[in-house]
């Protein structure tokens, strides 16, 4: 098997599993308990909080554990909007956010908030000038993702944060794809809230966090016990939190080396595909993109068919039409960067890890060239296109 879907999820690293194990088997006490079996869990949570805070230049008390990125995004948007409702009810975000943000915005719109969805350019980058123009006296929250999960584009977060800070508007960033992959500093980047998720950086699934700058009065998201200072109740996922911290330690210790290796593999794969398969285009910015992200549209084919045929040859990747998420609509991200429906349907996302090899990528390019040609040979669109080309010459 060749695994090229690391933006969907990553393999839990062996050292992460090892760090988690004792909290299933021996240290299983409830962290709220007074006896030492419980306090071992509490200690591990506090230690994890310190590790994760340090990774983004935050204070430990600013980290709140959640059950993943989706929860963190929902909490940030709904709680911030509600807390600031007295000041205004206008939120600014972009058209290329993850559904965790977009659907939370949709919920807020149904509940009396107004949301501006900003356009991005053809590479998927937000122009800070367009953000400035969209700000109104009643704007209370700006939410712009750090890096896009489909096309890997990295946003000018520092500039966006500076604009928000200057105008006194809260700034949230969904850093689920960026955390552990690229350096993040919440102080330098003027970030007030940040979402992250463990399973994107070789940690366990179902564990994440929301950074909330101290001093922000954010309401409880889950009501119940006193865990997480009473704002996110529920017995803590101790093994998950411990695994998250182990994954963060691992990611930080090799960030530069890992990114360098992935960039090399990424650019090699892009070069070979562009050089060997006609009628394709790279989606997203060529340089300002996550080290492991390759997203390419192949004209005249269906991404879903391509995925199925790749799967039959042992290659795991993902497509730009959202069929896998239960809808036949093409990806909102690809449409937002100006692709036609047909091009968006024919796109393929391959997200690499440092464990992939050049030999694997050579194999994948071989499969791709063959499958794309086979699908085009069956495509009436391709036939028409070739005929019109012949007629022209």
Asked if 68 touches ligand PLP (CB under 6 A), the answer is yes
Using CB under 6 A, pick the residue from 100, 125, 251, 365 that binds ligand PLP: 100
Asked if 52 touches ligand PLP (CB under 6 A), the answer is no
Asked if 320 touches ligand PLP (CB under 6 A), the answer is no
d(CA 156, CA 272): 29
Here the tokens at position 202 are 């070789």
Asked if 69 touches ligand PLP (CB under 6 A), the answer is yes
**In this structure, are residues 296 and 273 in contact, taking their beta carbons and an 8 Å threshold?**
yes
Please identify the residue of the shown chain whose CB is closest to the bound ligand PLP: 69
Asked if 330 touches ligand PLP (CB under 6 A), the answer is no
Q: State the Cα angle at 369 between 293 and 382, rounded to 5°.
A: 105
Considering beta carbons, is residue 77 or 372 the nearer one to ligand PLP?
77
Site for ligand PLP in 79-98 (CB under 6 A): 98
d(CA 244, CA 248): 6
**In this structure, are residues 62 and 53 in contact, taking their beta carbons and an 8 Å threshold?**
yes
Site for ligand PLP in 211-250 (CB under 6 A): none
Q: Is 323 a catalytic residue?
A: yes
Contacts of 128 (CB under 8 A, 6+ apart): 156, 159, 160, 163
**In this structure, are residues 55 and 246 in contact, taking their beta carbons and an 8 Å threshold?**
no
Asked if 331 touches ligand PLP (CB under 6 A), the answer is no
Least separation in angstroms between CB 111 and ligand PLP? 21
Which of the ranges 69-77, 114-122, 154-162, 301-309 carries the binding residues for ligand PLP, by CB under 6 A?
Answer: 69-77
Least separation in angstroms between CB 209 and ligand PLP? 10
Site for ligand PLP in 130-189 (CB under 6 A): 145, 149, 174, 176-177
Least separation in angstroms between CB 211 and ligand PLP? 14
**In this structure, are residues 76 and 213 in contact, taking their beta carbons and an 8 Å threshold?**
no
- Kindly give the residue spans of alpha helices, DSSP state H, lying in the chain: 14-20, 22-25, 36-55, 69-83, 99-110, 128-134, 157-167, 238-253, 255-276, 303-312, 332-336, 341-345, 358-377, 380-392
Least separation in angstroms between CB 129 and ligand PLP? 24
Residues that bind ligand PLP (CB under 6 A): 68-70, 73, 98, 100, 145, 149, 174, 176-177, 197, 208
Q: Give the residue numbers marked as catalytic.
A: 323
């Amino acid at each position: 098997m060749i695994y090229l879907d690391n933006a969907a999820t990553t393999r839990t690293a062996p050292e992460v599993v090892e760090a988690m194990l004792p909290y299933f088997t021996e240290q299983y006490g409830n962290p709220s308990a007074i006896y030492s079996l419980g306090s071992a869990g509490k200690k591990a949570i506090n230690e994890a909080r310190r590790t994760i805070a340090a990774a983004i230049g935050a204070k430990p008390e600013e980290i709140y554990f959640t059950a993943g990125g989706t929860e963190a995004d929902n909490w940030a948007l709904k709680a911030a909007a509600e807390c600031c409702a007295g000041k205004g009810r206008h939120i600014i975000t972009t058209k290329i956010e993850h559904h965790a943000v977009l659907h939370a915005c949709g919920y807020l719109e149904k509940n009396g908030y107004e949301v501006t969805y900003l356009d991005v350019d053809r590479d998927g980058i937000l122009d800070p000038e367009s953000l400035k123009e969209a700000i109104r006296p009643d704007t209370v929250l700006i939410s712009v993702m750090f890096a896009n999960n489909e096309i890997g584009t990295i946003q000018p977060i520092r500039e966006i944060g500076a604009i928000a800070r200057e105008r006194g508007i809260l700034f949230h960033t969904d850093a689920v794809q960026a955390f552990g992959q690229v350096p993040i500093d919440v102080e330098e980047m003027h970030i007030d809230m940040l979402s992250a998720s463990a399973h994107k950086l070789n940690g366990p699934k179902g564990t994440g966090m929301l950074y909330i700058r101290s001093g922000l009065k954010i309401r409880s998201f889950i009501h119940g016990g006193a865990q997480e200072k009473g704002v996110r109740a529920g017995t803590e996922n101790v093994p998950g939190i411990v695994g998250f911290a182990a994954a963060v330690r691992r990611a930080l210790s090799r960030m530069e080396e890992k990114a360098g290796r992935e960039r090399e593999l990424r650019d090699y794969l892009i070069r070979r595909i562009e050089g060997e398969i006609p009628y394709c285009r790279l989606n997203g910015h060529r340089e300002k993109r996550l080290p492991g992200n390759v997203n390419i549209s192949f004209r005249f084919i269906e991404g879903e068919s391509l995925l199925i045929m790749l799967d039959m040859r042992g290659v795991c990747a993902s497509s730009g039409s959202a069929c896998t998420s239960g809808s036949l609509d093409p990806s909102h991200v690809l449409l937002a960067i100006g692709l036609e429906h047909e091009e968006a349907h024919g796109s393929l996302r391959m997200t690499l890890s440092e464990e992939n090899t050049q030999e694997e990528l050579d194999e994948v390019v071989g499969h791709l060239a063959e499958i794309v040609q086979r699908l085009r040979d069956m495509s009436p669109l391709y036939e028409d296109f070739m005929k019109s080309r012949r007629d022209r010459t």
